[in-house]
Amino acid sequence: MSESPAAKPKLHVDPYEKNWMRFTIILLIVFAAAVTVAGFALGFQVPSPEERVDPNNLTGPWENPGLRELSPDIYDLYIIANSATWQFDPRDVEVPVGSTVTFYVTSTDIQHGFKLQDTNINMQIVPGQVSKLTYTFDKVGEYPYICTEYCGVGHAAMFGTLTVVEQ
């Protein structure tokens, strides 16, 4: 014997629960749209490991970290995080307004963080790995940078400033 469609039991979902399911689906769509807009329209970047280096023997541009001008208004900035001295090297940097700066950051000893205030530059710094992000500075001002990973007793002293000045 076959059952008629009317005889099959129906799943009953309370209207209150249906509304919460609808609300949840709408929230997921809104969050997915926000991530898509942030990723493509606003130019958010994910820090990528650029290269591997020997943290005990930094050579090349790491022997003298700092700002290097590649062409007018285009710079590379090499920064070393070091908890033996509890500081970033260099601690203070100055660039002209309108400059595009590519940050290369590494650590010589333990894991650190690197956050440049008022920008989307935020990286995890791992010994032996060079993290890279690029940012264009359109406004004059000071952009402090700090260590965002607790790295020991001198963690609070790990900061610096990138200053953007008129040309």
Tens digit of each residue's pLDDT (9 = 90 or more) over 12-65: 888 899 999 999 999 999 999 998 887 777 766 776 677 888 888 888 899 999
For residue 117, the model assigns a pLDDT of: 93
For residue 3, the model assigns a pLDDT of: 58
**Residue boundaries of the structural domains of the chain:** 14-44, 50-165
- Contact criterion met (CB below 8 Å) for 137 and 99: yes
For residue 152, the model assigns a pLDDT of: 86
For residue 26, the model assigns a pLDDT of: 97
Give the residue, 115 or 44, on which the prediction is more confident: 115
For residue 5, the model assigns a pLDDT of: 60
For residue 10, the model assigns a pLDDT of: 79
Q: What is the pLDDT of residues 59-107, one digit of tens each?
A: 889 999 999 999 999 999 999 998 888 899 899 999 999 999 999 999 9
Class (C level, CATH) for 50-165: mainly beta
Return d(Cα 112, Cα 83) in angstroms, integer.
9
Confidence of residue 6 (pLDDT cuts 50, 70, 90): low
Supply the pTM of this predicted model: 0.75
Name the residue with tokens 């940097």. Answer: 93
- Contact criterion met (CB below 8 Å) for 134 and 64: no
Q: Comparing C-alpha atoms, which of 116, 103, 122, 113 is closest to residue 142? A: 116
Return d(Cα 24, Cα 148) in angstroms, integer.
33
For residue 84, the model assigns a pLDDT of: 83
Per DSSP, the residues of 66-116 read: EEEEEETTEEEEEEEEETTTTEEESSEEEEETT-EEEEEEEESSS-EEEEE
Return d(Cα 51, Cα 128) in angstroms, integer.
8
Confidence of residue 165 (pLDDT cuts 50, 70, 90): very high
Q: Residues with Cβ < 8 Å from 68, sequence gap 6 or more?
A: 61, 75, 76, 77, 78
Exposure string of 123-156, with b = 16+ CB inside 10 Å and e = fewer, is bebbbebbbbbebebeeeeebebebbbebeeebe
Return d(Cα 115, Cα 111) in angstroms, integer.
14
